[in-house]
Amino acid sequence: MNDKFYITTPIYYVNGRPHIGHAYTTVAADVLARVHRLGNEKVFLSAGTDEHGLKIQQKAQEAGKEPLEFADEISAQFKNLWGQLDIEYDSFIRTTSPKHIEAVQKMLQKLYDQKAIYKGIYRGLYCVGCEQFLHEKDLVEGRCPDHDQEPEAVEEECYLLKMTEKQEELIRKIESKELQILPERYEKEILSFLKNQRLEDVSISRKNVTWGIPLPFDNDQTTYVWIDAFLNYLTVLGWNGEDTLPDFWPADIQLLGKDILRVHATIWPIILMHLGIELPKKLIVHGHILSRGKKMSKTLGNVISIDEMLEKFGVDGTRYLLLSAGTFGEDVDVTTERLTEKYNADLANGLGNLISRVVKLNEKLGVEAGDGARLSEPEDLTSKFNPDVFLDGIWQKIAQANKKIEEEKLWELVKSNETKARELIKELLWLLAQIAILLTPVMPQTAQRIKTILKNNQAEILFPRVK
Ligand code: MSP
């Protein structure tokens, strides 16, 4: 392992309350950050909100508020939620902060001076939900499939970023794994996209969107929200737009949902290449949490509330359910019923029950728990980042332990054969200590409580059943 580890989360749009889809990315990033902290590395986990652009301008207007006032409220909701979910982020960046704005303007001026940006005209179909220009082939029956909205035809004067001239170099960097994209099928998807068409130059400014960072070389235009947003990965580390880069750069892992992979694997690295800045090492891509078969979104009205989840399943229950809901990288459809079933099966019955059984059966014997081993191979969790597979491994151990208690009839052994009972309890306590350690990055409070229960040899209900 290296001595520093920088992991980023996407910055969230402040157009509506945070939901479980947002929590999914950030919880996953927090788990990775925690694993690396256990390995004694210097870790930086970034967080933040993406606050400019047409979507937010419109939402604020609908709410009868000034954009910044609107952004203040929702940004605070995200920050608050990360507190509730035990996210140990190191810094929270808002793209409306003066320092960020200044750095973005310096960077744009630099690109303009070196002629990577030029004035032109862009014609295209703009989806406000995506804050992106789409192509005919991206649409389903003329509508954006993610937002179920018809994009707006736009033709406007703007500034464009040269993309094509960097296309070959970008392909080489991805092929040589200088910029790695995981899971591999997403890398294949991006490579095939890059090899099968000429990259169009990207419009980096909007003429009629007032809620944005003014271009330093043309005050009639504001910066396209994605260009502004990408820079957060540097400004969150304190970068001021000058040549000296923060020590934590390059990012070791950038975690993101598949809907924002294309921009992260094309526009973002090409900006960095123009600026002569090293690329992030890895993009790790996850699928979407679906509800009723569609990506959860406020626009579609199929959102499962994160507040309800927290209330019902607690912090660690929520963290567990999010990460174990499905295969990381693929879409997963969730319903409150299925989450409830899984909570009762895995946490109330599986883990919670195992601990209370072992501790109760040990009440009279008082066998002492060992310390368990250290989390010896955090790489297990980080190399390919499959939190669901990792958790599944732990739950197999839990199932085996519960099975062993049944098969050996431990409750009878404690009366009939104390020596054998002690041996088995010792083995089980060691396993529980081990489980507590493995669970630390995913369920930090639970891990701590298990350790205390084992130390005091006193059962308590970790996960009350829910309806
Ligand atoms: N603001 C941009 C990101 C800029 S990063 C330089 C954005 N914001 S977002 O709020 O729409 O989405 C942020 C992240 O949340 C993305 O990684 C996205 O995939 C994730 N999710 C939003 N809804 C989701 C689900 N329903 N399921 C899983 N993740 C989802 O895009």
Compute the C-alpha angle 62/65/69, nearest 5°: 135
Give the pLDDT band (50/70/90) at residue 27: very high
How far, in Å, from the CA of 81 to the mean position of ligand 1?
15
Query: How far does the centroid of ligand 1 lie from the alpha carbon of residue 467, in Å?
Result: 30
Highest mean pLDDT, choosing among 82-96, 126-140, 147-161: 82-96
Residues 397-416: pLDDT tens digits? 999 999 999 999 999 999 99
What is the average pLDDT value for the chain, to the nearest integer? Answer: 93
Kindly state the average pLDDT of the residues 447-465: 93
CA–CA gap between residue 231 and residue 221 (Å, rounded): 18
The catalytic residue among 36, 110, 147, 264 is: 147
CB-neighbour burial class of residue 331 (10 A; exposed 0-12, middle 13-18, buried 19+): middle
Active site residue 52: no
Query: Which residue minimizes the CA distance to atom 30 of ligand 1?
Result: 21
Instruction: Tell me how far apart the alpha carbons of residues 351 and 399 are, in angstroms, rounded to a whole number.
Output: 9
Is any ligand 1 atom within 6 A of the Cβ of residue 326? no
Ligand 1 neighbour 78 (Cβ under 6 A): no
pLDDT at 377 over 50: no
Query: How confident is the model at residue 297, as a pLDDT?
Result: 73
Ligand 1 atom nearest residue 10's Cα: 5
**Which of the listed residues 14, 19, 20, 22 should we mutate to test ligand 1's pocket, taking the one with most ligand atoms within 8 A of CB?**
22
pLDDT at 208: 86
pLDDT single digits (tens) 284-302: 999 999 988 887 776 677 8
Å from CA of 112 to ligand 1 middle: 29
Task: Compute the C-alpha angle 92/88/105, nearest 5°.
Answer: 20
Say whether 274 is catalytic. Answer: no
The radius of gyration of the chain's CA atoms, rounded to the nearest angstrom, is 25
Ligand 1 binding pocket includes 133 (Cβ within 6 Å): no
Residue 132 is predicted with a pLDDT of: 87
pLDDT at 146: 82
Q: Any idea which of 59-63, 100-104, 143-147, 191-195 has the lowest mean pLDDT?
A: 143-147
Q: Are 32 and 385 in contact (CB under 8 A)?
A: yes
The pLDDT score that the predictor gives to residue 1 is 47
Percent share of the chain, pLDDT over 70: 96
Q: Is residue 123 predicted with pLDDT exceeding 60?
A: yes
Percent of the chain with pLDDT over 90: 82
What pLDDT does residue 383 have?
A: 60
pLDDT at 381 over 80: no
Q: pLDDT value at position 378?
A: 47
Contact 222, 52 (CB under 8 A): yes
Of the candidates 4, 106, 298, 360, the residue annotated as catalytic is 298
CB of 259 closer than 6 A to ligand 1?
yes
Tens of pLDDT along 322-351? 999 999 999 999 999 999 999 999 999 999
296 lines ligand 1 (CB under 6 A): yes
Lowest mean pLDDT across 7-16, 125-134, 154-163: 125-134
Residue 2 pLDDT: 61
Report the separation in Å between the CA atom of 259 and the middle of ligand 1, taken as the mean of its atom positions.
Answer: 7
- Give the pLDDT confidence score for residue 292 in this predicted structure: 83
Name the 3-class secondary structure at 214: strand
pLDDT band at 228 (very low <50, low <70, confident <90, very high): very high
For a ligand 1 pocket test, name from 12, 19, 132, 235 the mutation site with the most ligand atoms within 8 angstroms of its C-beta: 12
Residue 387 is predicted with a pLDDT of 87
Counting Cα atoms < 13 Å in the Cβ hemisphere of 355 gives 28
* Closest atom of ligand 1 relative to the 12 alpha carbon: 10
Q: Is the pLDDT of residue 51 over 80?
A: yes
How many angstroms does the Cα of residue 200 sit away from the middle of ligand 1? Answer: 24
Q: For ligand 1, atom 5, which residue shows the shortest CA distance?
A: 10
